[in-house]
């Protein structure tokens, strides 16, 4: 056994890190010493969407590690809520599970409930600090410990056909004025300039992130970062201006007039069929565009009034090892396989934007230019950071603005109220500065 | 009656006008289920150039609706049987047996009717989890049976109340036990009521969305109604035809029930149940 | 012991058992056997969780933490109710209850009377036609109607377009002013079939001689409907209306597919109590608030249904 030669016990480690009573209780449940296993079985569950990529990863893992048995299952979690991970973890039914993202809605409740174990031993054992992007690790930590390992990044933007932009003699817009001029050209040609789905999961939120990042900048007062981790409020000017900008393009007929009625799938359909020139979406749409258009596609980020284009990124496919796991060592070995082993390579080749530095050169050009790869700074994609009250207010309210039910200022106030309420309810950690 | 001449035509017109909103969308779905996604997006009222039967093949095999139909039949079938048995037993007890607490029991059944599952959703999921039934068809079957039971029970009660008391007494005089009176005299006489209850139970459990949505996480266990509402488009593109074809497939068992049993259902509904 | 108590509960069980006749005891034993399975099932899956809900609503619990959190009394209720989505949900639920009570029932009754009380042929075809929506489950119907209501290729807007109104393009599910009625439309479309079939059964049972007598007296069709059909199906109507009221107060199966998973949109215009509960309990971690909303829903349904049944009882004709 290649046991970690750490002198401190888990309990002492927690004390040293000052996690307090909650962490200590959790720590006491975990008596395993982290090691590279020479045999074992682990049970792995993931939602069915990304799960299809993991079928290949699991196969490759079994081939490389015949000593480890994998019981792999996919779960359909897209429509209903937060329950399945909770159930699986509580029941001790899994050793590794995808908890979607490392954010307040997802990570903090299961952490508070003591359902997961820290990964710091494996982080040291496998040297993940060398391989996984620092920001991803930081945002997956609470109280100085790493609780989840996000494997992907996701970035939102507006997808386009290269040939369409060329035919209109426009490039990716660098300012609000250029962006509007571009939309006007599309509109004049009878195209839907920018399509987007609001019914179901509202992707108007994605427009808002992009405008807001562009207006508010990467950090400092008024930025998304300042609201999530600092003293900022949703009522800060850049956030309200971004909402106003959405209303402006909607009223000018530059945003799909059906936006409130249609779903994202309808929007995708309009884009793929050529009826719409731009489609608000993200890296999760890359494999489909590659399939549809070969290389004739790319994605841009939309500048807001007064700002330049700034990408919004966030971590996803965050893997956790439940506290009740029977074979965490085998699970961690698989995680490492996805961080720097063949698993990472397979995921990358399938168009995923990995949160690790391995095999970066294999990525398609559309991925190569994104900030995670280039090292350029990007703003936060905050979907998933927001607990239910805030998220509901955010999504419903953006629809309310376009429908004329509320003003952008009223919307901002409602989101801020919901956010404060979620903080008060303990849905969000009081001190968030160390996550930044 | 006055349904002669002009009046008769007016009546026909009225009924057809009234029926149109109910028939037309169904007909549209039926037609579209044989169409193509492109055709639907272009002009959804037009007939397809040929009937695309492959939509059904895809729904049945590719989109795995054969599994969902099986799941639904398993769930609805079990629920129907359980409700048939339990409602008959409970209905007979509250209708015909004299025992302490009967009125309290009746009150409880009434309360259960007006207690929507939504009001106790979260504790219910906890109970299911504690029993180790999370993500299982058994959970759906048991919770559906428990929550639907009150109405069929009251129907069976009305049924038993309508049967002449003398029949039971005659049995008792001839030395039948209470169980014998129930099993061999009363229950057989309530057969048409049981059929009505079975159909009710089947219709409602086949229709249910909430309990499958709450208790089933693994796609291979989905019921058909839940599978259709969560049907994901193929590769981010809208897949109308698969969904339409699956919806038409989902009507199969209901149409069978309607054609085979609806006459008896109607008869059963009125002979006893609702007039008591 | 009060009269009520002695009626409902057995005050002195042992004494009663001893003094009961052998026949009575046999009935009790059979009753216990017949009642027990159903009671256990309902106890575990209905009464116990329902009672737990009431308890839970007074605590502050997220639904996942191992301990229940603090007792906060009615604070959870204050939190759950002091917001716009809640007032929308109450408004919509009440409106939906009224629609459920009258619209599918009246259409169903009129349609049943039109088919059964006239010599229209073929009756089987008309019966089939009115029952067609019920072949789809409510949720499937709602999922289909997302296509029927689509602004561009949707059936309704295509028909409007085909009729020559090329400028009219309602956003059935995207316009907050009409989305709730669009949703209710699916409900009415589906549930009318149920009302129809039950009323059909009831009308077929009416004594035909009543109609013949009316015919001899020269009553019009409308008069026959008013004075014979309606009074004859009164009890059935009460049953149907009660069911529609209960279903209408909790039409989750309609709203879920139409607006999922951003439930209740656009801008809370289709919010109902069940969607709020679902969001709090299943899409977030607000179990206590979901419980408080559950209790409110419970009181609402019990109150309205009881009031309705009381009203029907009071206005029942005396014979």
| Domains defined along chain B, listed by start | 65-275 (1.10.3720.10)
Do the beta carbons of residue C312 and residue C238 sit within 8 Å? yes
Three-state DSSP class for A233?
Answer: coil
Q: Dihedral of the CA atoms A287, A290, A291, A295 (nearest 10)?
A: -170
Residues for chain A: how many in total? 436
- How many angstroms separate the CA of residue C176 from the nearest CA in chain B? 22
The average confidence (pLDDT) of chain A is 85
Shared domain for C231 and C100, answered yes or no, is: yes
Assigned token pair, A120: 């710091």
Q: Quick count: other Cβ atoms within 10 Å of Cβ A148?
A: 29
Parallel, antiparallel, or unpaired: how do β-strands A96-98 and A379-380 relate? Answer: unpaired
C32 and C173 together in one domain = no
pLDDT per residue, tens digit, chain C (319 aa), is 334 434 444 445 667 767 777 778 888 889 899 999 999 999 999 999 999 999 999 998 888 777 778 899 899 999 999 999 999 999 999 999 999 999 999 999 999 999 988 778 888 899 999 999 999 989 999 999 999 999 989 999 999 999 999 888 899 999 989 999 999 999 999 999 999 988 998 888 888 888 888 888 888 888 888 998 999 889 889 989 999 999 999 999 899 888 866 678 789 999 999 999 988 888 888 889 999 999 999 999 999 999 999 999 898 887 6
> Best residue in B22, B156, B261 to probe C by mutation, most C CBs within 10 Å?
B22
E strand residue ranges, A20-167: 40-47, 68-75, 96-98, 141-142, 145-146, 149-160
pLDDT at B270: 60
pLDDT (tens digit per residue) in A315-344: 888 899 999 888 999 999 999 999 999 999
The verdict on C23 and C136 lying in the same domain is no
Report the gap between the CA of C135 and the closest CA in chain B (Å): 5
Q: What is the pLDDT of residue C257?
A: 87
Interface test with C, best of B8, B33, B123 (most C CBs within 10 A): B123
The confidence score (pLDDT) of residue A183 equals: 97
Of A79-83, A415-419, C169-173, C236-240, the poorest mean pLDDT is in: A79-83
3-state SS class at A193? strand
Give the torsion sign (CA, C188, C194, C198, C201).
positive
Pick from C172, C267, C279: CB nearest A261: C172
Bigger pLDDT: C95 vs A93: C95
d(CA A87, CA A93): 8
Radius of gyration (C-alpha) of chain B in whole angstroms: 23
Cα-trace Rg, chain A: 22
Query: Is the distance from CB of B22 to CB of C189 less than 8 angstroms?
Result: yes
Q: Which residues of C167-182 are buried (b: 16+ CB within 10 A; e: fewer)?
A: eebbbbbbbbebbbeb
Q: Name the neighbours of C, counting chains with at least 3 Cβ pairs within 8 A.
A: A, B
pLDDT at C66: 75
* Domain chopping of chain A, boundaries: 36-147+319-362, 154-311+377-429
Measured between beta carbons, the chain A residues lying within 8 angstroms of B235 are 288, 291
Residue of chain B nearest C299, judged by CA positions: B115
The residue of chain A with its CA nearest to that of B218 is A75
Are C173 and C260 contacting, i.e. CB atoms less than 8 angstroms apart?
no
Per-residue tokens: C231: 């009074």
Cβ <8 Å between B129 and A73: no
Q: How confident is the model at residue A102 (pLDDT cuts 50, 70, 90)?
A: low
Are C267 and A198 in contact (CB < 8 Å)?
no
- Calculated CA dihedral for residues A13, A18, A19, A22, nearest 10 degrees: 90
Alpha carbon of B236 to those of A288, A291, B214: distances in Å? Answer: 7, 11, 25
Instruction: Name the DSSP class of B117.
Output: G
Those residues with Cβ within 8 angstroms of residue C78's Cβ, 6 or more apart along the chain or in another chain? none
Q: Would you list the DSSP string of A267-300?
A: HHHHHHTTSEEEEEEEGGGHHHHHHHHTTS-EEE
- Do residues A84 and A115 lie in contact, with contact meaning Cβ atoms separated by under 8 Å? no
Please indicate, yes or no, whether residues C170 and C254 belong to a single structural domain of this protein.
Answer: yes
The number of distinct structural domains making up chain C is 2
Tell me the mean pLDDT in the region A390-398.
92
Cβ atoms within 10 Å of A38's Cβ, excluding its own:
12
Asked if A36-147+319-362 and A154-311+377-429 have one fold, the answer is yes
As a whole number of Å, the CA-based R_g of chain C is 25
Tokens 């199966």 correspond to C253
The tally of CA atoms less than 13 A away on the side-chain side of residue B88 is: 20
Residues in chain A within 8 Å Cβ distance of C171: 258, 260-261
Q: Does C167 touch chain A (CB under 8 A)?
A: no
Contacts of C264 (CB under 8 A, 6+ apart): A396, C85, C88, C89, C255, C270, C271, C272, C275, C276, C279
Question: Which chain C residue has its CA at the smallest distance from B154's CA?
Answer: C239
Pairing of strands A96-98, A40-47: parallel
Burial call C127-154: b when 16+ CB within 10 Å, e when fewer: bbbbbbbbbbbbbbbbbbbbbbbbbbbb
**Closest to B122 (Cβ–Cβ): which among C24, C63, C239?**
C63
Whether the pLDDT of residue A290 is over 90: the answer is no
Question: With contacts defined as CB-CB under 8 Å, which chain B residues touch C52?
Answer: 120, 123, 126
Q: How far apart are CA C317 and CA C319, in angstroms?
A: 6
For chain A, the distance separating the N- and C-terminal CA atoms, rounded to the nearest angstrom, is 37
* Residues C259, C251 contacting (CB under 8 angstroms): no
What is the Cα–Cα distance from A237 to C261, expressed in whole angstroms?
29
Q: How many CB pairs under 8 A join A and B?
A: 51
Secondary structure letter of residue A356 according to DSSP: B
Between A430 and B38, the more confident residue is: B38
In A113-263, which residue ranges form alpha helices assigned H by DSSP?
Answer: 120-125, 128-131, 134-139, 162-167, 176-188, 204-216, 224-229, 237-251
- The burial of B185, by beta-carbon neighbours within 10 Å (0-12 exposed, 13-18 middle, 19 or more buried), is given as middle
Q: Which of C144, C160, C290 to mutate to test the interface with B (most CBs of B within 10 A)?
A: C144
Q: Which residues contact A388 (CB under 8 A, 6 or more apart)?
A: A105, A422, A427, C279, C280, C283, C284, C285, C286
Answer yes or no: is C219 within a domain: yes
ipTM score of the complex? 0.88
Q: Pick from B11, B19, B247: which is nearest to C136 by CB? A: B247
Per-residue confidence (pLDDT) for residue B236, from 0 to 100? 67
C-alpha to C-alpha distance for B157 and B273, rounded to whole angstroms: 8
Chain A residue nearest residue B122, CA to CA: A83
Q: How far is CA A285 from CA A268, A281, A367, A378, in A?
A: 9, 7, 12, 19
**CB distance A370 to A283 below 8 Å:** yes
Within 8 A by CB and 6+ apart from A346, the residues are A53, A56, A57, A60
Mean pLDDT of A164-185: 96
Distance from C-alpha of C41 to C-alpha of B220, rounded to nearest angstrom: 26
Question: Element (H or E) spanning A344, and its range?
Answer: helix A342-349
B100 within 8 A of C276, measured Cβ to Cβ:
no
**Is C237 domain-assigned?**
yes
Comparing CB atoms, the residue among A78, A90, A268 nearest residue B236 is A268
Q: Are residues C87 and C50 in the same domain?
A: no
Q: Within this chain, do residues C130 and C22 fall inside the same structural domain, yes or no?
A: no
Return the structure tokens found at C62: 């997220």
| Chain B, chain C: beta-carbon pairs less than 8 Å apart | 307
Kind plus residue range of the DSSP H or E element containing A331: helix A328-339
Q: Which of C33, C143, C197 comes nearest B228 by C-beta?
A: C143
Exposed (0-12), middle (13-18) or buried (19+): which is A287, by Cβ within 10 Å? middle
**Domain encompassing residue C29:** 14-56
Asked: is A36-147+319-362 a CATH 3.40.980.10 domain? The reply is no
Q: Which of B222, B231, B238 to mutate to test the interface with A (most CBs of A within 10 A)?
A: B238
C-alpha A23/C-alpha A17 separation (Å) is: 10
Please give the C-alpha separations between residue A103 and each of A146, A387, A428, B34, C124, in angstroms, as whole numbers.
Answer: 13, 9, 9, 44, 59
What pLDDT, on a 0 to 100 scale, did the predictor assign at position A351? 77
Angle, in degrees to the nearest 10, between helices C234-249 and C287-314: 160
Q: What angle do CA A331, A332, A335 make, to 5 degrees?
A: 95
Q: Does domain A154-311+377-429 have CATH number 3.40.190.10?
A: yes
- Confidence class of residue A411 from pLDDT cuts 50, 70 and 90? very high
CA A240 to chain centre: 23
pLDDT at B185: 86
Residue A204 scores a pLDDT above 90: yes
Q: Which residue of A has its CA nearest to B236?
A: A265
Which of A35, A49, A225 is CA-nearest to residue B230? A49
C131 contact partners, CB below 8 Å, separation of at least 6: B258, B262, C193, C196, C197
- Angle ∠(C46,C50,C54) on CA atoms, nearest 5: 175
Cβ contacts of B219 on chain A, cutoff 8 Å: 48, 74-76
Distance, C-alpha A271 to centroid of its chain:
23
- Can you give the pLDDT at residue B268? 66
> How far apart (Å, rounded) are the C-alpha atoms in residues C140 and C156?
18
Q: Which residues of chain B have pLDDT under 50?
A: 1-3, 272-276
Distance from CA of A77 to the nearest CA of C (A): 11
The pair of structure tokens assigned to A193 is: 């300039």
Residue of C nearest to B204 (CA): C137
């Amino acid at each position: 056994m290649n046991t970690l030669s750490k002198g401190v016990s888990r309990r002492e480690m927690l004390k040293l890190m000052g996690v307090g009573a909650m962490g200590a209780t959790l720590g006491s449940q975990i008596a395993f010493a982290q090691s590279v296993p020479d045999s074992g079985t682990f049970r792995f569950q993931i939602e069915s969407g990304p799960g299809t990529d993991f079928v290949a990863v699991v196969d490759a893992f079994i081939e490389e590690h015949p000593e480890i048995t994998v019981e792999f299952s996919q779960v359909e979690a897209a429509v209903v809520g937060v329950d399945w991970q909770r159930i699986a973890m509580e029941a001790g039914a899994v050793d590794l599970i995808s908890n979607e993202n490392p954010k307040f809605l997802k990570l903090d409740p299961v952490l508070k409930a003591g359902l997961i174990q820290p990964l710091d031993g494996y982080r040291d054992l496998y040297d993940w600090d060398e391989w996984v992007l620092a920001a991803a690790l930081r945002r997956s930590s609470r109280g100085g410990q790493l609780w989840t390992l996000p494997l992907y990044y996701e970035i939102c933007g507006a997808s386009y056909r290269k040939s369409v932009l060329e035919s209109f003699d426009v490039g990716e817009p660098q300012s609000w004025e250029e962006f509007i001029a571009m939309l006007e050209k599309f509109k004049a040609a009878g195209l839907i300039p920018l399509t987007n789905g609001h019914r179901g999961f509202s992707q108007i939120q994605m427009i808002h992130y992009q405008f807001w990042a562009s207006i508010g900048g990467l950090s400092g007062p008024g930025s998304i970062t300042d609201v999530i981790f600092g003293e900022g409020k949703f009522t800060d000017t850049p956030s309200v201006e971004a909402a106003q900008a959405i209303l402006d393009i909607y009223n000018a007929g530059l945003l799909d007039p059906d936006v409130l009625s249609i779903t994202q799938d309808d929007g995708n359909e309009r884009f793929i069929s050529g009826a719409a020139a731009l489609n608000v979406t993200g890296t999760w749409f890359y494999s489909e565009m590659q399939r549809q258009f070969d290389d004739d596609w790319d994605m841009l980020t939309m500048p807001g009034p007064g700002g330049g284009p700034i990408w919004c990124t966030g971590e996803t496919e965050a893997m956790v090892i439940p506290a009740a796991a029977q074979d965490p060592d085998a699970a961690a070995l698989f995680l490492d396989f996805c961080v720097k082993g063949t698993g990472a390579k397979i995921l990358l080749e399938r168009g995923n934007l990995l949160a690790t530095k391995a095999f970066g050169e294999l990525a398609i050009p559309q991925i190569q230019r994104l900030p995670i790869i280039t090292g350029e700074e990007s703003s936060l994609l905050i979907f998933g950071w927001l607990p239910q009250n805030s998220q509901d207010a955010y999504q419903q309210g953006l629809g309310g603005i376009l429908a004329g039910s509320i003003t952008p200022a009223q919307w901002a106030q409602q989101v801020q109220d919901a956010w404060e309420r979620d903080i008060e309810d303990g849905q969000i950690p009081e001190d968030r500065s160390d996550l930044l | 009656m006055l349904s002669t001449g002009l009046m008769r035509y007016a009546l026909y017109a009225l009924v057809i006008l009234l029926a149109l909103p109910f028939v037309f969308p169904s007909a549209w779905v039926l037609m579209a289920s044989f169409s193509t996604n492109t055709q639907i997006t272009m002009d959804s009222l037009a007939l397809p150039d040929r009937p695309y039967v492959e939509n059904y093949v895809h729904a049945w095999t590719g989109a795995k609706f054969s599994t969902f139909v099986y799941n639904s039949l398993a769930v609805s079938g079990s629920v129907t049987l359980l409700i048939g048995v339990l409602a008959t037993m409970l209905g007979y007890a509250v209708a015909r047996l004299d025992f302490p607490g009967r009125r309290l029991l009746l009150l409880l059944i009434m309360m259960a009717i007006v207690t929507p599952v939504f009001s106790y959703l979260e504790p219910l999921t906890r109970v299911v989890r504690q029993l180790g039934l999370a993500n299982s068809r058994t959970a759906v079957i048991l919770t559906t049976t428990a929550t639907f039971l009150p109405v069929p029970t009251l129907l069976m009660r009305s049924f038993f109340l309508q049967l002449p008391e003398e029949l039971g007494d005659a049995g008792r005089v001839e030395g039948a036990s209470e169980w014998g009176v129930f099993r061999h005299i009363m229950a057989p006489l309530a057969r048409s009521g049981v059929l009505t209850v079975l159909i009710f139970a089947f219709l409602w459990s086949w229709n249910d969305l909430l309990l499958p949505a709450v208790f089933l996480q693994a796609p291979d266990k989905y019921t058909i109604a839940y599978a259709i509402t969560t049907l994901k488009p193929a590769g981010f593109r809208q897949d109308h035809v698969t969904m339409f074809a699956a919806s038409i497939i989902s009507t199969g068992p209901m149409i069978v029930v309607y054609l085979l049993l609806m006459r008896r259902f109607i008869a059963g509904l009125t002979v006893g149940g609702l007039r008591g | 012991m009060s009269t009520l108590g002695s009626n409902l509960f057995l005050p002195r069980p042992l004494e009663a058992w001893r003094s009961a006749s052998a026949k009575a005891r046999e009935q009790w034993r059979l009753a216990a056997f017949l009642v027990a399975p159903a009671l256990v099932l309902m106890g575990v899956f209905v009464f116990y969780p329902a009672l737990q809900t009431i308890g839970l609503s007074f605590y502050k619990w997220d639904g996942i933490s191992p301990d229940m959190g603090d007792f906060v009394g009615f604070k959870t209720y204050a939190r759950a109710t002091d917001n716009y989505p809640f007032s929308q949900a109450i408004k919509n639920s009440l409106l939906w209850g009224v629609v459920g009570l009258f619209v599918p029932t009246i259409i169903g009754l009129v349609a049943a009377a039109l088919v059964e009380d006239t010599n229209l042929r073929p009756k089987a075809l008309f019966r089939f036609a009115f029952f067609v929506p019920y072949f789809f489950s409510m949720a499937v119907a709602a999922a289909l109607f997302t296509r029927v209501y689509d602004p561009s290729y949707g059936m309704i807007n295509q028909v409007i377009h085909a009729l020559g109104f090329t400028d009219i393009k309602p956003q059935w599910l995207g316009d907050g002013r009409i989305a709730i009625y669009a949703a209710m439309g699916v409900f009415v479309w589906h549930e009318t079939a149920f009302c129809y079939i039950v009323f059909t059964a009831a009308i077929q049972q009416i004594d035909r001689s009543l109609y013949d007598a009316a015919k001899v007296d020269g009553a019009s069709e409308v008069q026959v409907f008013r004075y014979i059909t309606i009074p004859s199906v009164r009890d059935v109507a009460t049953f149907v209306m009660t069911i529609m009221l209960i279903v209408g107060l909790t039409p989750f199966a309609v709203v879920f597919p139409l607006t999922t998973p951003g439930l209740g949109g656009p801008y809370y215009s289709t919010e109902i109590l069940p969607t709020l509960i679902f969001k709090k309990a299943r899409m977030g971690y607000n179990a206590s608030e979901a419980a408080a909303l559950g209790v409110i829903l419970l009181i609402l349904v019990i109150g309205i249904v009881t009031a309705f049944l009381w009203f029907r009882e009071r206005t029942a004709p005396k014979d």
